[in-house]
Structure 1
Amino acid sequence: MHTQQRNHFFQTITRSTRLRAFVVLVMTGIHLVTTMNLPACPFCSAVSLTFTQEIDQSEVAVVAQLVEGPDAESLKPTSQGPLPKGRFKIVEILKGGDLAEAAGLLGPDAETIEAILLEDKPLGGMFLLLAIEPPKLFWSSPITLGPESAAYLRKLQDLPKAGAGRLAFFQDYLEYSDETMARDAYDEFAVAPYADVRGLRDQMHPEKLLAWIENPKVQSSRRRLYATMLGVCGSNQDADRIEAILRGKDSELRVGLDALIACFVTLRGSRGLDQIDELFLTKSDKEIPFTETYAAVMALRFLGEETEIVPRARVLESLDRLLDQPTLADLV
């Protein structure tokens, strides 16, 4: 930012001490974002560790079949005994085969694995089991696997450690019929660097992303991811459909508003930011909910990093609109 612009900006925000703190916080966030790797979805948070992270943190990882369920009495809420446990037989080794063999878990006379199982599960079901601290091995709670999950886990071992090539694999499992795999694919995007998702641009499917964004049944965290991805690969026509959501009243579709605003401006540029100013940042006769203004500010934080799309000075112009709104200052 030029010195003259900076001086004007900070002279203006002295009108409100509390608002000054708010805007400084926003600009600090923009500075921090520019000095670190953005996650692929800056508006998302991972639901849990990815399968890859869990396997990496374990010393033994196996696909195992439930051969003996917990005692029915131990599953009752009134049970006072030890935690219910099930017994599992290893079907496939994903990691640490030598440690599993040393623990007597492989071969014709292999012992079964005993692990805490807090629910009644059907015998024969497949699970991911993880262990640490050999040679005794302490096993985690089993993770239920669907019919395709074992093959999915096997493929993870051959993927690149990072980059667009890795995300290309997980893109095929977003909103997959097996929720365990769909969740893992989302989490992989949520923890990946933003540069990786931009590298995936030519392999993305904007129509599919738009369909998910416009589906009220899609989880809000995932809608944020899909909006971020659409901002990378979408067109001006796609921006029209996002604008319809921003101007509409469907509260279910507007969940994830911060990512939708960022997507819209990323596709439209400074012209799109003019429309965001009108909808969410400009004082008018209609009252703009604080949550919507806050979502717009979070989008501005993201856009402040994307200087090739919207100049930093233009982002500051939008923030300036908040300075004359005492109601906002009272909420900060």
Structure 2
Amino acid sequence: MLRFLRYSLPLLAVLILSLASAPTTACPFCSMQGQTLAGEVAGADMVLFGTLANANIKDDTTDLVLDSVVKTNDLVAGKKVVTLPKYLEPDKLTQYKFLVFCYIFKGKIDPYRGMAMKPDSDIVAYLKGVQELKDKKPAERLPFYFKYLDNADPEISMDAFKEFANADYKDYREMAKNLPADKLAGWLRDRNTPGFRIGLYGSLLGHCGKDKDATLLRSLIDDPERKLSSGVDGVMAGYTMIKPKEGWEYTKSLMKDPNKEFLMRYAGLRAARFLHDFRPDLVDKKELADGVAQLLNQKDIADLAVEDLRKWGCADMTNRVLALRETEAYTTLPIVRRSVLRFALSFPDVAADSAYVAEQRKSNAQGVSEAEEILKLEQAK
């Protein structure tokens, strides 16, 4: 389905896809970016934690017996009980404590979000730590969040993960060298670890792991029972960080095999992007380009390979890219033709590219115009 949608994209969608594929300042191997509790606490006027009691349906109120004040306000100074202007049915809520986010509007409490927490939750200690670190640089905050990645409270664990997901690679590159490799390896071995975390954990292990961890990372990809469907790019990158030559050769072999599932070959491409953009010290850029160029012969992913080669300035790949004109992919898939055209437009000083563009201006003037517009928008970012 994914490939079908990409093949039939109209111009507007192509524009969006092109812009969305540009590098972003976030974890390269995480897909759960978003608002964190640190951001929510910062945006609230007051944050309270306690037990609900004395629900009054007539007055539409419920008391919150305070255990802790995470973020205070003069309205609750010295109070042990705060009355919330909302009736909350007590019989359904007695097993939980509540974290309540409030605005103060015209001198009154306006609770706008409540999170039900188990009584033994570490949420108060966690949020106090978050508050203490709020003015620190990401690299100084992330070791704190690492300790909570496996917290028993799913709200805390997910929030800690989001802090990594929102962090740029440079924010955790050095910090990751000092992480406990055995703990990361244990999380990766655990079949209950959510798939969306595998990429982050694999890449973190790549910074602090040893040869035995490289063996583990490779086994995760090879294991037919695990059948990893997400995070494989981070595992490949981690393997390559520990053993650059061996890891990259293995990744290339996976990309080269057209019989491998699309997601596996695409993971190899994403790993190559990471190595190119963030770790050029590990694999020579020409080696990376040659590895990605293997995908040009594969109908379902050729356009993505062309796009990366273009963005990497690989004018020397012109002959291999233009050779796609003789393939079924070029003949039957507009998305492939568009990628080839954008490639040629990007290298006007290369005779073969210039000749191809001139030919296209005669037979497909609108397509050339649209491609030029996409490139202008891309360059403006």
TM-score by length of 2: 0.65
CA distance in 2, matches of 1:27, 1:236: 38
Shift of 1:278: 1.2
Q: Check if 1:187 corresponds to 2:168.
A: no
Give 2:70's aligned amino acid: L
Match runs of 1:145-294 below 5 Å: 145-146=117-118, 147=120, 148-159=122-133, 160-253=135-228, 255-283=230-258, 287-294=259-266
CA distance in 2, matches of 1:100, 1:241: 53
Partner of 1:43: 29
Partner of 2:100: 129
Change (3 A) 1:288 1:42: same
Extract unaligned runs of 5+ from structure 2: 1-6, 9-15, 303-328, 336-381
Secondary structure of 2:234's aligned partner: helix
Partner of 1:299: 271
Change (3 A) 1:64 1:259: same
Partner of 1:64: 50
CA distance in 2, matches of 1:326, 1:119: 59
Deviations 1:143-171 (A, max 9, x none): 12342322222222212532333111111
Shift of 1:227: 0.9
CA distance in 1, matches of 2:176, 2:137: 16
Q: Check if 1:98 corresponds to 2:69.
A: no
Q: Check if 1:54 corresponds to 2:54.
A: no
Give 2:98's aligned amino acid: F
Give 1:60's aligned amino acid: M
Give 2:262's aligned amino acid: F
Partner of 1:80: none
Change (3 A) 1:89 1:277: same
CA RMSD of aligned residues (A): 3.3
Deviations 1:192-215 (A, max 9, x none): 222221222343011111111121
Extract unaligned runs of 5+ from structure 1: 1-16, 19-24, 72-83
Change (3 A) 1:307 1:296: same
CA distance in 1, matches of 2:256, 2:19: 20
CA distance in 1, matches of 2:169, 2:91: 41
Q: Check if 1:113 corresponds to 2:113.
A: no
Deviations 1:202-255 (A, max 9, x none): 430111111111211111122222112112211232111111222221235454
CA distance in 1, matches of 2:264, 2:67: 51
Give 1:326's aligned amino acid: K
Shift of 1:126: 2.0
Give 1:67's aligned amino acid: A
Partner of 1:321: 294
CA distance in 2, matches of 1:319, 1:202: 28
Change (3 A) 1:198 1:327: closer
2:282 pairs with one of 287, 309, 312? 309
How many residue pairs get matched? 286
Secondary structure of 1:142's aligned partner: strand
Secondary structure of 2:69's aligned partner: strand
| Runs (4+) off by over 6 Å | 25-30
Secondary structure of 2:79's aligned partner: coil
Partner of 2:11: none
CA distance in 2, matches of 1:281, 1:200: 34
Deviations 1:38-86 (A, max 9, x none): x2x3121336532211101111111132114697xxxxxxxxxxxx985
Change (3 A) 1:99 1:308: farther
Shift of 1:315: 1.4
Secondary structure of 1:112's aligned partner: strand
Larger Rg: 2
Contact 2:55 2:87 in 1 (8 A): no
CA distance in 1, matches of 2:108, 2:218: 58
Contact 2:29 2:199 in 1 (8 A): yes
Match runs of 1:3-82 below 5 Å: 32-33=22-23, 37=25, 39=26, 41-46=27-32, 49-68=35-54
Shift of 1:280: 2.9
CA distance in 2, matches of 1:70, 1:175: 38
Change (3 A) 1:55 1:237: same
CA distance in 2, matches of 1:194, 1:165: 14
CA distance in 2, matches of 1:314, 1:26: 26
Change (3 A) 1:228 1:151: same
Shift of 1:113: 1.3
Tell me which protein shows more helix as a share of its residues. Answer: 2
Q: Give the number of the structure with larger relative contact order, counting CA–CA contacts within 8 Å between residues 6 or more apart.
A: 1
